Amino acid sequence: MTTNGGANGTARSQLVHLGSERPTIEVLEAGEGAPLVFLHGAGGVPLWEGVLPLLAAHYHVYAPLLPGFGRSTGLECLDDQFDLFLHTFDVVDALGIERPYVVGESLGGWIAAEMAALRPRDVGRLALVAPIGLWRDTSPVEDLFGHMVHEMVPLLFHDPTSPPAQRMLALTELFSDKDDRSEEQIETLIGLARGFRTAAKFLFPIPEHGLEHRLWRITAPTLVLWGEGDRFIAPCYADIFGEKVAGACVKTIPDAGHMIGLERPQPYADAVIAWGSGGRP
Amino acid sequence: MKFSWFHLMPYRWLPADFRERYHSVWVDLPNALYDPVRGHGLYNEYLDMLEYAETMGFDAIGVNEHHQNAYGMMPSPNLMAAALARRTSKAMLLVLGNSIALYNPPVRVAEEMAMLDVLSGGRLIAGFPVGTSMDINYCYGQNPATVRDKYREGHDLIMKAWASREPFPWNGKYTKLRYVNLWPQPIQKPHPPIWIPGLGSIETWDWCVDHAYNYSYLSFSGYKRARKMLDGYWERLEERGAEANPYSCAFFQQVCVSDTDASCEREWWPHVDYFFNKCLHLYPGTSEAPGYRTEASLRAGVVAQAGNTNQNMGRNKTWKELVDERYIVAGSPATVRQQLEELARSLRVGHLLLGLHIGSSPIELTNRSTYLCATEVLPHLRPLWDEYEDHWWPKALPAAERVAAGSYNTAVRATVERPSHDGGEPGRDRVRRRDEVRP
């Protein structure tokens, strides 16, 4: 099974069974070279596009999907956030990868940072891309679960008129008042709701569970990437990561909002690849 | 049939341009719009309406729980029920109800409901709603992915706390208590009747059947639209081999009664308009958190468009449309009588919860409607379903054993209010009589 990325090529898909009464996880895979584990944000990986094929040109990219996303199941096996972090190590172990380069976006960035704090010796290198997980009353993270699609788009994208932003905006028609949805639209809607349920299980109502007190434990070389125009999580959070993670390198990307991987994939990929080879982006 | 007079207690003074200026009546509506002095009058006016309903012979008076909104000002229904318990003696107290998952630990619900049952002489009907997503997720921060599981566990704990006569430990997933030992315990044995409000999911129907609970279908869309949903309920009961007892089901209907159909529209339209276009003005972004509904219910809802908070809610409809489509049952006593009978027979419900206060209606209009309903409508409907036994009604103490508020003071006043024996001078060192205290 493959995930179509159009001109960007495709990713292979495999199901990883973690054991009886444990989750079954869909892992998207592409490219060759050193392993890179990509942890997705609250939107999942609907298409193999943006930064993903660019990373796959240099790495063997593994993108495991959280339960509730794609074909992954087993959310009921994960009671709390620590189950979630340990589960992600289970997936890495099941793939036979040791001390990987972990790149996480938003929700995935939070998971990546927590993994690196929880088992510092098991994460080789880290790139946190607009991660959630911290909180300042002076700059509240926007409510992921309290907006309509047309309101989310300008929060997530630097340029709401860009094609990926417009594609997200088109989801609005799924929420029509009229009872005129096609079968395909219904399945898309149910799929979105299933993924969002997973995100809500760990992030509702405030996406903060004490990561800040654990950041000092991280020993992996850490790159922090942020879109300069991120209206969802303000770039001031990048500075906190930079300050609290020893040796972290903070880089902001111009003309990008929260969805850097879709809006500015090339500078994002360049920075991750440079950091991966031991350089500074 | 039995009839409950049910109050939502909306705030009455939302501005004329409310819908244009605010995106929702719930969750994040600034409380700068709330005037507590007006609120003082409103609570008392509303409680008067409920007390009047008792004097007009309604079987129960009902309150419910909502948070952070102008739609219904009862974050604590138990406080309202406590006020009513002291001022009433005949009507049952329908508390529909307490959202179990919001209380930590849930024994708080068991305690307060036991207090209400004891205070009222066993008149409590205990409602256990999951609660709207607005209330429990957005206002009270419960996790939508786990809140139903937490609700079920809370329910099990409350029922065990009510049933047990010895302390017991509770090692739950959401609540851990070394000693559960309820003081007081309810008068009603084994427990007050349990009513479960729902919006039509099969899981809820099965749960009610499994526990022999009343299923209460609460919607504002009226009985025509409810037909399909409740047909499903009765079919499910048949599949499960449960008795198709009309009293196992309650239904909420908003009703306006006036002298004539024409006067009804003239008098009630501003208040009905206020309800459907202001009190139900909801923002879809905070109507339903992801995971609040099960996937099965979501799928059924997407396909059938039923029970979805923003669908079919009566917005922007004319009086005629609301009446013709039965969002409201409104008109002269004859009209209302005919329509409520049609409602009761077609839905097969034994318990009707009547919303006789609507939107911004003041007490004079409301009580007139209550009066006409009680005297010219309900007597004709009461005999319906007489052949069934109502297993979902309080087993209160006999009226003669119920203590009237103030009766203890009355009984002892003469012996209490007399001078002391210590020979003090008159006017000093003695208990002064009440009439002496006054200027």
Q: What domains are there in chain A, each with its CATH number?
A: 2-276 (3.40.50.1820)
| Residues 78-107, chain A, touching B (beta carbon < 8 A) | 79
> pLDDT tens digits for B73-84?
999 999 999 999
> pLDDT tens digits for A81-118?
999 999 999 999 999 999 999 999 999 999 999 999 99
Out of A148, A193, A198, whose CB is closest to B284? A148
Interatomic CA distance for residues A192 and A195, integer angstroms: 5
Q: Which residues of B touch A149 (CB under 8 A)?
A: none
pLDDT, mean of residues A150-156: 96
Tell me: pLDDT of B308 over 50.
no
- Reported confidence tier of residue A173, pLDDT bands at 50, 70, 90: confident
Per-residue pLDDT at A281: 83
Out of B143, B285, B310, whose CB is closest to A201? B143
Per-residue pLDDT at B430: 52
Angle at the Cα of B19 from the Cα atoms of A165 and B224, rounded to 5 degrees: 95
- Reported confidence tier of residue A78, pLDDT bands at 50, 70, 90: very high
Cβ within 8 Å, pair B146-A146: no
* One domain for residues B416 and B339: no
Whole-angstrom CA distances from A164 to A48, A169, A233 are: 13, 9, 19
| Residues 267-326, chain B, touching A (beta carbon < 8 A) | 284-286, 289-291, 295, 298-299, 302-303, 305, 310-311
Instruction: Count Cβ atoms below 10 Å from residue A132 Cβ, excluding itself.
Output: 28
Q: How far is B143 from chain A, CA to nearest CA, in Å?
A: 6
Q: Which of B38-47, B224-233, B346-355, B379-388 has the lowest mean pLDDT?
A: B224-233
- Reported confidence tier of residue A181, pLDDT bands at 50, 70, 90: confident
DSSP secondary structure string for all residues of B363-429 = HHHHHHHHHHIIIIIHHHHTTTTTTS--TTS--PPPGGGSPPTTHHHHHHHHHHSS--SS-PPTTSS
Q: Which of B285-289, B302-306, B322-326, B403-407 has the lowest mean pLDDT?
A: B302-306
* One domain for residues B42 and B186: yes
Tell me: pLDDT of B267 over 90.
yes
Per-residue pLDDT at B250: 98
**Average pLDDT along chain A:** 94
Find the domain containing B170 and state its range: 2-403
Whole-prediction pTM: 0.92
- Reported confidence tier of residue A75, pLDDT bands at 50, 70, 90: very high
Q: Touching check for A193 and chain B: CB below 8 Å?
A: yes
* One domain for residues B109 and B59: yes
Interatomic CA distance for residues B32 and B85, integer angstroms: 32
Whole-angstrom CA distances from B259 to B269, B275, B339, B369 are: 15, 22, 16, 9
Spell out the residues 6+ positions from residue B402 whose beta carbon is closer than 8 angstroms to its own. Answer: B89, B121, B396
Q: Are strands B194-198 and B214-217 parallel, antiparallel or unpaired?
A: parallel
* One domain for residues B397 and B419: no
**Residues of chain A above pLDDT 70, percent:** 95
Interatomic CA distance for residues A112 and A132, integer angstroms: 10
Which CATH number does the domain housing residue B292 bear? 3.20.20.30
Cβ within 8 Å, pair B146-A201: yes
Per-residue pLDDT at A1: 52
Tell me: pLDDT of B435 over 60.
no
Nearest 5°: phi and psi at B82? Answer: -65, -40
| Residues 201-260, chain B, touching A (beta carbon < 8 A) | none
* One domain for residues B64 and B143: yes
AA letter at B375: T
* One domain for residues B165 and B208: yes
Residue B12 in 3-state DSSP? coil
Per-residue pLDDT at B310: 45
Per-residue pLDDT at B375: 98
Cβ within 8 Å, pair A148-B302: no
Question: A interface mutation test: which of B146, B293, B309, B315 has the most A CBs within 10 A?
Answer: B146
Q: Residue B425 burial (CB < 10 Å; 0-12/13-18/19+)? A: exposed
Whole-angstrom CA distances from A160 to A170, A257, B127, B384 are: 12, 10, 46, 61
Per-residue pLDDT at B307: 38
pLDDT, mean of residues B148-175: 97
* One domain for residues B393 and B418: no
Q: How far is B345 from chain A, CA to nearest CA, in Å?
A: 29
* One domain for residues B44 and B58: yes
Total domains, chain B: 2
Per-residue pLDDT at B135: 97
> pLDDT tens digits for A197-251?
999 999 999 999 999 999 999 999 999 999 999 999 999 999 999 999 999 999 9
Task: Please answer whether residues B206 and B185 qualify as being in contact, where contact means their C-beta atoms are separated by less than 8 angstroms.
Answer: no
CA-nearest of B199, B276, B259, B266 to B232 is B199
* One domain for residues B259 and B303: yes
Tell me: pLDDT of B284 over 80.
yes
- The pair of structure tokens assigned to B172 is 């739950």
Q: Which residues of B touch A145 (CB under 8 A)?
A: 137, 144, 289-290
Tell me: pLDDT of B305 over 50.
no
Cβ within 8 Å, pair B290-A79: no
Q: Which residues of B touch A200 (CB under 8 A)?
A: 143-145, 289-291
- Reported confidence tier of residue B304, pLDDT bands at 50, 70, 90: very low
Tell me: pLDDT of A174 over 90.
no
Per-residue pLDDT at B224: 83
Q: Which of A1-5, A31-35, B174-178, B335-339 has the lowest mean pLDDT?
A: A1-5
Residue B217 in 3-state DSSP? strand
Cβ within 8 Å, pair A197-B299: no
> pLDDT tens digits for B4-63?
999 999 999 999 999 999 999 999 999 999 999 999 999 999 999 999 999 999 999 999
* One domain for residues B371 and B415: no
pLDDT, mean of residues B277-303: 87
Task: Please answer whether residues B234 and B251 qualify as being in contact, where contact means their C-beta atoms are separated by less than 8 angstroms.
Answer: no
* One domain for residues B176 and B82: yes
Q: Is the dihedral of CA A36, A41, A46, A49 positive or negative?
A: negative
- Reported confidence tier of residue B251, pLDDT bands at 50, 70, 90: very high
| Residues 144-163, chain B, touching A (beta carbon < 8 A) | 144-146
* One domain for residues B425 and B280: no
Q: How large is the ipTM?
A: 0.90
CA-nearest of B65, B111, B135 to B309 is B135
